């Protein structure tokens, strides 16, 4: 559809299942779909942690399940636009298995950044910013970051001497090319496909195989314990959920009181003094920020929920708090 101004009016391409809720809340459908997927991801992560933990399920099963749910979330939120995400991942996988180790990082970076750039140019010059507020470009940026990170770490592992690498490069260098399933799971898993975070490939594989907690704990103080239990994420998850809920409440309250589009209203621009307009603009833009705080807090919560097993409270003293850095 084309509006009177000549701009293309964005139409949701994701699922319309939650349209009644969108209308009830007076919230764009794509935002409702995004929040719904993140809330479902919390439940799925809990089930994933309990029933598909590394002691009960083979890594291939965990990879396949995480990928399947992630693909479904992408299709549910973005519809056919999700093909951009899948296309980029498949193209860069082909580069990884065919390019030489001396050039794989260069080719992967050019492909990923080039594809993302073309999508953004299309967004600006063809759609004239007439894209949904929650569109596929966000996940595409996360995928680009993951692709380039993995490619450079692969180059560190195969194409450079171990002695010339920094400590971090030595830790995260990849000495075995990922399988197709591992590659898909790393990029499309349900915990990070919609809004990140971008993790290192070695950390993700350690998580799938159940080695992630012990490897962090062994580098920390064990408080005299020779064997350290897996820590419970419950307290951190509850804390994160409270922050996310508060951010959402602030966003819903202040964006209705100070709508951002009011700053381009002709009556407002012609009748309100400049300093008052400037003050309103500042408040309106600040009111939009909690939306991102909500997303960036809720997404890591699903990651935390899926990565730890519940342990008795008396065993938690052996678990240093340092295992939750920057989470």
Q: What are the pLDDT digits (tens) for 275-326?
A: 999 999 999 999 888 888 888 888 777 777 776 543 333 334 444 444 444 4
Q: What number is the average pLDDT over the span 54-74? A: 94
pLDDT reading at 213 higher than 90: no
- 95 confidence band (pLDDT: 50, 70, 90): very high
pLDDT reading at 67 higher than 80: yes
Q: How many CA atoms does the CB half-sphere of 166 hold within 13 Å? A: 3
Q: Cα–Cα distances in Å, from 236 out to 231, 298, 302, 325, 327?
A: 11, 12, 11, 11, 9
pLDDT reading at 228 higher than 60: no
**CA distance linking residue 31 with residue 23, whole number of Å:** 12
pLDDT reading at 115 higher than 80: yes
Q: What number is the average pLDDT over the span 80-91? A: 94
**CA distance linking residue 296 with residue 94, whole number of Å:** 31
Q: What percent of the chain has pLDDT over 90?
A: 36
Q: What number is the average pLDDT over the span 27-44? A: 89
Q: What number is the average pLDDT over the span 219-244? A: 68
**CA distance linking residue 260 with residue 258, whole number of Å:** 6
**CA distance linking residue 217 with residue 324, whole number of Å:** 11
φ and ψ at residue 168, rounded to 5 degrees: -65, -40
* Cα dihedral sign, 78-81-83-89: negative
With beta carbons less than 8 A apart as the criterion, state whether 144 and 128 touch.
no
The chain-wide mean pLDDT, for the chain, equals 82
pLDDT reading at 145 higher than 70: yes
Question: Which one of 20-29, 44-53, 68-77, 238-247 scores highest in mean pLDDT?
Answer: 68-77
Q: What number is the average pLDDT over the span 94-115? A: 94
pLDDT reading at 149 higher than 80: yes
Question: Which one of 80-94, 114-128, 279-293 scores highest in mean pLDDT?
Answer: 80-94
Encoded tokens for 267: 């009556």
pLDDT reading at 128 higher than 80: no
pLDDT reading at 183 higher than 80: yes
């Amino acid at each position: 559809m084309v509006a009177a101004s000549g701009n293309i009016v964005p139409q949701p391409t994701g699922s319309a299942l939650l349209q009644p809720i969108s209308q009830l809340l007076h919230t764009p459908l794509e935002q409702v779909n995004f929040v719904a997927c993140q809330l479902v991801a919390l439940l799925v992560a809990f089930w994933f942690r309990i029933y598909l933990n590394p002691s009960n399920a083979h890594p291939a099963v965990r990879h396949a399940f995480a990928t399947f749910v992630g693909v479904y979330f992408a299709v549910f939120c973005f519809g056919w636009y999700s093909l951009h995400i899948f296309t980029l991942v498949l193209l860069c996988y082909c580069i990884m298995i065919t390019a030489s180790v001396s050039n794989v990082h260069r080719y992967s970076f050019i492909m990923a950044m080039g594809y993302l750039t073309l999508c953004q140019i299309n967004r600006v010059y063809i759609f004239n910013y007439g894209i949904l507020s929650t569109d596929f470009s966000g996940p595409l940026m996360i995928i680009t970051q993951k692709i380039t990170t993995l490619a450079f770490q692969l180059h560190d592992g195969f194409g450079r001497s171990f002695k010339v690498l920094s400590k971090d490069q030595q830790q995260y260098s990849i000495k075995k090319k990922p399988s197709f399933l591992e590659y898909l799971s790393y990029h499309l898993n349900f915990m990070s496909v919609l809004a990140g975070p971008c993790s290192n490939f070695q950390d993700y594989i350690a998580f799938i195989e159940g080695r992630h907690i012990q490897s962090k704990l062994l580098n920390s103080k064990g408080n005299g314990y020779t064997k350290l239990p897996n820590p419970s994420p419950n307290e951190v998850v509850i804390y994160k959920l409270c922050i996310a809920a508060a951010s959402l409440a602030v966003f819903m309250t202040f964006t209705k009181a100070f709508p951002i589009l009011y700053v381009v209203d002709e009556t407002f621009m012609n009748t309100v003094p400049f300093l008052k307009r400037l003050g309103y603009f500042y408040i309106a833009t600040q009111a939009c920020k909690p939306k991102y705080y909500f997303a960036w807090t809720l997404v890591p919560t699903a990651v935390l929920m899926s990565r730890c097993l519940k342990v008795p409270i008396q065993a938690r003293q052996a678990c240093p708090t340092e295992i939750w850095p920057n989470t």
